Structures are given as C-alpha cells and as structure tokens.
Structure 1
Amino acid sequence: MPEAPDQSLLDALLDSWDRNNTILVNLLHAIPPSGLEARATPTSHTVSEMFTHLHHERMVSVLEEAPEFAGEVPSQEWVFEPDPHRIAGMLNESAGRVRDAVRGRVEAGRALDLHYDHPILLVQLLIFHESYHHGQIKLALKLSGRPISDDEAGPLTWDVWRKRQGHG
C-alpha cells in the first residue's frame, strides 16, 4: 500500500464506482412493467433476484474486507423484491458502504482484511461482477419479450460513463 494516496486518482476511481451504481439504478428504473420477474431461462434467477444479489455481494464484501464500514447484511442472497424503489435504496446504501470502505482504507494506508492486494481492487472486481449481471439482466428482459432498446439504454448507461465532470 502506498503511504500517500494520489487524491485525484482515488477521486477518479470512486467517481467510476458512483457512475457504475448510477448505471445500475438507471437500468433498474428502465425495466418495463413485470420485468423484475423476467428470467433468461426457466431455472435462471429473476431480474429482481440479480439486483438483490448485487446488493448482498457488496454488503458481504464490505463486512469481510473492512468491517468498520459494514451495515446489516441481508440474511438471503437471491431474494425477489417487487419494489424497484426499495431495490434502488438497497443499491445506493451498499454503493455508499463500498465507497466509504475503499476510501477509508486507502486514505489510512490499510489493506483490506481478506482478499486483494489493494483496496481499489475491490471496486474493480465489483464493477466487473456488476457488468456481468447487467448483461444477464438485459438478456433476460430480451428473451422474455421485454427488451430495453439501445436508444433507451444508451443515455442511461454509456452516456453516464462518457460524461465529463463539470460538463452537465
């Protein structure tokens, strides 16, 4: 662990984490009616269950890696939640806990407790993991006849990544 973190790099990393969460919540709010029930195959998890899994994974990761930033971990991992606003609240809470854990550990010059050579690797793993499920969610919606068009998805996803800070 470096002794003095480069604050601008840490800020850029945490901004990418915030953007990732914004994209995930945007996707959630773009899901058409009954889309939370969609599955890619009859034995696949529902779209709702994938979102609650992401929240659970974040909360478990913080508990294992930086417990001083942990909150209450849901007792179950793959839970069907019918209320998109409740799911959004869960995702925003867990995103904040990950953000605080990574910032806190980097600024303190402390490694995480269990895995990873550096705290920023947790953010990178979670972005990778969530991108994987983002694709699964879009595929489940498409296969169930409830697709989100590229015209609709673009501003909610790619445009969030491309937006320059301070440029509206």
Structure 2
Amino acid sequence: MSGANPVAQALVETWAIGARITRYLLDGIPAAALDAAPAGKGRTVRDLFAHLHDVRLMWLKAARPDLMEGLAKVGSGSTVDHAALATALDASAAALAVLVADSAAGDGRVKGFKPHVTAFVGYLLSHEAHHRGQVALAARLAGLPLDKKVSYGMWEWGVR
C-alpha cells in the first residue's frame, strides 16, 4: 500500500496486528489443548479458531465474494491440526486486509456493515479478542494454561 492514504494504511496495519495476535495465540496452544472446552462442553479451542476463520469468510462472502477464491470454511467439529488452522487463518486474514484496504481507499464502506470501514475493523478486532479470551480460558480450565510468554505476548502490539 505504498503511496496509499495514511489512514487506510493504518487501518490495514491495525487489522494485520490483530490477525497476527490471533495466529500468535494459535502457535502458543499445545496440540493437547485443541480439544479443550470449558467444563467439557461448548466450543473447543479448535472450534473457536475455526469460528474465527469462518466468520471472516462470512464477511467476505457478504462484502467481496471475489476475495473468497481458494478459501473454504473449517467448520465446527473439524479435526484439522495446527498447520491447517494456521493456513486458513493466514489466508482469511490476507483476504480481509484487501477488503479493508479497498474499502478505505474507496467510499469508506464495507458492503453489509454499518457504519464504515473503521468500525468494521473495530468489530473484527473485538470479535477476535473475545474468542482469544475464550481460548485462553478453555486451555487453563483443561489444565493446559498458556505459557506466560504467550499470555503477555498477545499484548505486544508493536509491529515486528
């Protein structure tokens, strides 16, 4: 986005930071914790990461279906491993970055979302942060708490 509007560039970068933190959390989850669920019921850690990816796809389908090429839902109850979740999350994050960039450079709107692209990025970040908290809690309740480096590292918003 060189030469782009600095506000549009900042929105894309902010989204990228949030998506990077979601991936950082996934990378810090032990394989044994992927099937953890609070109190043994509800969404598992794996399902929560799948949900994040699938909600990203929901927005792409509504706003820019052309950006969904090669992307597929993971779905609740999936048995995909870390690598497959990481690949899915990376791909959906990249597609959303294009949506955010194009929306910010255009009329400032995201089709199907009100009021504007800045609020859309806020929504995405809030949604993902909510579920990252659920992931951390589920892992802890399963006796597999996050490493302190990961817990504190999620708050490192500096661009690396």
Does the 8 A contact of 1:28 with 1:88 survive in 2? yes
Aligned to 1:98: 96
Note if 1:158 corresponds to 2:155: yes
Q: Does the C-alpha gap of structure 1 residues 115 and 33 become closer, same or farther in structure 2, counting only changes over 3 Å?
A: closer
Say if 2:38 and 2:137, in contact at 8 Å, map to a contact too.
yes
Give unpaired runs (5+ residues) of structure 1: 1-5
* Aligned residue among 76, 79, 101 for 1:78: 76
Q: Superposed, which structure 2 residues align to 1:36-115 within 5 Å?
A: 36-71=34-69, 74=72, 77-109=75-107, 111-115=109-113
Structure 2 Cα separation of the partners of residues 75 and 93 of structure 1: 11
Cα gap change, 1:107/1:152 in structure 2, threshold over 3 Å: closer, same or farther?
closer
- The percent of aligned pairs where both chains have the same amino acid is 25
Name the stretch that deviates more: 38-47 or 144-153. 144-153
State whether residues 65 and 114 of structure 1, in contact with CA within 8 Å, keep that contact through their aligned partners in structure 2: yes
Name 1:149's counterpart in structure 2: 147
Deviation at 1:95, TM superposition (A): 0.5
Offset of 1:22 from its aligned partner? 1.0
For 1:77, the aligned partner's letter is G
What's the RMSD between the two structures over aligned residues?
Answer: 2.0
Provide the rounded CA distance (Å) in 2 between the counterparts of 1:38 and 1:80: 13
Residue 3 of structure 1 corresponds to none
**Count of matched residue positions in the alignment of Structure 1 and Structure 2:** 157
Superposed CA offset, 1:77-117 (max 9, x none): 32333410110110010001111011112212263222212
Alpha-carbon offset, residue 58 of structure 1: 0.2
1:8 is aligned to: 6
User: Normalising by the residue count of structure 1, what TM-score does the alignment of the two structures yield?
Assistant: 0.84
Q: Deviations over 1:100-144 (max 9, x none)?
A: 011112212263222212123222111100000000000000000
The alpha-carbon distance between structure 1 residues 8 and 130, as it changes in their structure 2 partners (threshold 3 A), is same
Match of 1:24 in 2: 22
Structure-2 separation of matches of 1:33 and 1:68? 34
Structure 2 length-normalised TM: 0.88
